[in-house]
C-alpha cells in the first residue's frame, strides 16, 4: 500500500534519511523547510511500508499561476535519489504519483535520481546532464596533485598573500556572500536566487552549512557555500568579485573547504550538476579532479517537443543580462524562482 506523509515532521522520514547511505542533504527536513519558507512549496512524501518507511520519495508541490501546478523531487536540488528498496517499489510509488497527477490536473511530475532508473512505463527520460564528484578518501597531498597545475598555482599564490579565509553562517556572512552572488550572476546574465533563500538555508541547515569568504582587508572578494551531511561535502554555490578576484584566487576557498571537510569526516565531494551544453563549467570541475557521471531526470508526462526551450533562448539571456542593473536582476530573481523550480 502506498501512503503519503509529511517529511517535515514525520520521525520515520528523519530516521530513514540518517540511516540510508544514499541520502544527501537534499533529502533532509531542513532542506525541505528552507524550500517551504522561501518559495512556499509544500513538501509531501510518498511511501511504501509502515512503521519504518521501507521505500519513500520526497516531493514538493509547486503551485504557480505562471507555470502551473506540479510535483518535483526536488526543486533547486541537483539530484534526489529515491530511497527505495527495489525497482518494483519504485514503480509502484511512481505509478501512484502519476495517477494522482492525472486526477488532479497537475502539469507533470519530475524525479531527479542520482543513479539512472529504467523500466518505468509512464516516466520518460529528459535530456541528460552531468554530475561531478571527487573521492576524498585519498590523503590531501594526493588530492592536491589531482588538481590541474594552473589551479594549484592560484591556490598557492592565495595562501602566500595577505588574503584572509573566514568561515561562518550568521547574517553578516549571508549578506556578504549574497552581494558577491549577485555580481557573479550579473556577469553570467542570470538572475540570482533571492536573499531570503540564503538566509533560510543558513537558519534551517545550521551547522551543516558553512559560508567561506576570502577577504582582502575587510572586503570579500570570493565566497563559497558548502553543505556537509554525514560523509558528503557539497559545493552548492560559489561567487567572486569580477574585478577584485580577476586572478582567480577564490579557488583557494575550494581547496580549504576540501581540507576542512576531510577533517570533519567527509569522504566524498559533491560538485553538483552541469548541463550538457555548459562546457566551461564542466571543464572547471574536471580541472579540480572531478569524475563525471550521467544525470537523467524523469518526467511524466514528457514535455511537449514544441514547448521545450530553444537553444537560442539561453544565449539571448546571457547577452542581455550583463547589461542590466544588478538591482533589476535581483528583483527578477525574487519573482522568477518560485515559478521555475
Band (319; pLDDT cuts 50, 70, 90): very low
What does the alpha-carbon distance between residue 11 and residue 76 come to, in Å, rounded to a whole number? 24
Structural domain span for residue 59: 2-129+297-317+332-340
Same domain, 124 and 272: no
Q: pLDDT band at residue 322, thresholds of 50, 70 and 90? A: low
Residue 11 located in a structural domain? yes
Both 223 and 125 in one domain: the answer is no
Q: How does strand 2-5 pair with strand 68-73?
A: unpaired
In terms of domains, do 120 and 141 share one? Answer: no
Q: What is d(CA 250, CA 268) in angstroms, rounded to the nearest whole number?
A: 21
* pLDDT tens digits for range 37-72: 999 999 999 999 777 788 999 999 999 888 889 999
Q: Is 281 found in the same domain as 176?
A: yes
Backbone CA torsion sign across 175, 335, 37, 210: negative
**Residue 78: inside a domain:** yes
Quick one: pLDDT band at residue 305, thresholds 50, 70, 90? low
293 in helix, strand or coil?
strand
Dist. CA 264–CA 254, nearest whole Å: 15
Note the pLDDT tens digit of each residue in 62-111: 998 888 899 999 999 999 999 999 999 999 999 999 999 999 899 999 99
183 and 259 within one domain: yes
State mean pLDDT over 289-300: 96
Q: Are 113 and 79 in contact (CB under 8 A)?
A: yes
Question: Both 143 and 37 in a single domain?
Answer: no
Shared domain for 75 and 182, answered yes or no, is no
Whether 322 maps to a domain, the answer reads no
**Cis peptide bond N-terminal to 74, omega within 30:** yes
Q: Is residue 143 part of a domain?
A: yes
Question: How far is the CA of 321 from the CAs of 184, 258, 297, 338, 341, in angstroms?
Answer: 11, 32, 28, 19, 20
> Can you state the percent helix, strand and coil of the chain, rounding each to 5?
40, 25, 30
Tell me the three cell numbers of residue 180: 558577491
Domain count, the chain: 2
Write out pLDDT tens, residues 180-201: 999 999 888 889 999 999 999 9
**325 found inside a domain:** no
Count of residues making up the chain: 341
Q: Output the domain CATH number for residue 120.
A: 3.40.630.30
Q: Is the pLDDT of residue 318 over 90?
A: no
Amino acid at each position: 500500500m502506498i501512503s503519503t506523509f509529511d517529511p517535515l515532521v514525520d520521525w520515520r522520514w528523519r530516521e530513514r534519511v540518517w540511516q540510508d547511505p544514499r541520502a544527501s542533504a537534499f533529502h533532509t527536513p531542513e532542506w525541505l523547510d528552507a524550500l517551504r519558507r522561501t518559495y512556499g512549496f509544500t513538501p509531501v512524501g510518498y511511501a511504501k511500508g509502515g512503521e519504518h518507511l521501507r521505500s519513500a520519495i520526497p516531493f514538493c508541490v509547486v503551485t504557480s499561476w505562471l507555470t502551473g501546478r506540479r510535483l518535483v523531487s526536488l526543486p533547486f536540488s541537483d539530484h534526489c535519489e529515491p530511497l527505495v528498496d527495489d525497482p518494483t517499489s519504485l514503480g509502484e510509488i511512481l505509478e501512484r504519483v502519476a495517477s494522482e497527477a492525472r486526477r488532479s490536473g497537475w502539469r507533470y511530475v519530475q524525479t531527479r535520481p542520482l543513479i539512472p532508473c529504467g523500466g518505468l512505463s509512464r516516466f520518460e527520460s529528459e535530456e541528460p546532464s552531468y554530475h561531478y564528484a571527487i573521492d576524498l578518501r585519498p590523503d590531501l597531498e594526493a588530492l592536491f596533485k589531482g588538481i590541474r597545475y594552473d589551479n594549484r598555482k592560484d591556490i598557492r599564490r592565495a595562501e602566500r598573500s595577505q588574503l584572509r579565509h573566514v568561515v561562518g553562517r550568521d547574517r553578516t556572512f549571508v549578506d556578504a556572500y549574497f552581494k558577491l552572488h549577485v555580481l557573479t550572476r550579473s556577469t553570467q546574465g542570470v538572475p540570482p536566487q533571492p536573499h531570503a533563500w540564503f538566509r533560510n538555508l543558513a537558519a534551517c541547515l545550521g551547522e551543516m552549512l558553512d559560508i567561506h569568504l576570502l577577504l582582502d582587508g575587510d572586503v570579500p572578494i570570493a565566497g563559497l557555500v558548502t553543505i556537509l551531511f554525514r560523509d558528503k561535502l557539497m559545493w552548492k554555490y560559489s561567487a567572486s568579485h569580477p574585478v577584485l578576484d580577476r586572478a582567480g584566487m577564490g579557488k583557494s576557498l575550494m581547496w580549504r573547504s576540501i581540507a576542512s571537510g576531510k577533517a570533519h569526516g567527509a569522504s566524498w565531494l559533491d560538485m553538483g550538476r552541469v548541463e550538457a551544453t555548459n562546457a566551461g563549467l564542466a571543464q572547471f570541475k574536471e580541472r579540480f579532479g572531478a569524475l563525471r557521471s550521467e544525470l537523467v531526470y524523469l518526467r511524466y508526462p514528457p514535455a511537449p517537443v514544441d514547448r521545450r526551450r530553444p537553444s537560442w533562448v539561453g544565449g539571448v539571456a546571457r547577452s542581455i543580462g550583463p547589461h542590466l542593473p544588478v538591482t533589476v536582476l535581483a528583483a527578477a530573481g525574487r519573482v522568477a524562482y518560485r515559478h521555475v523550480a
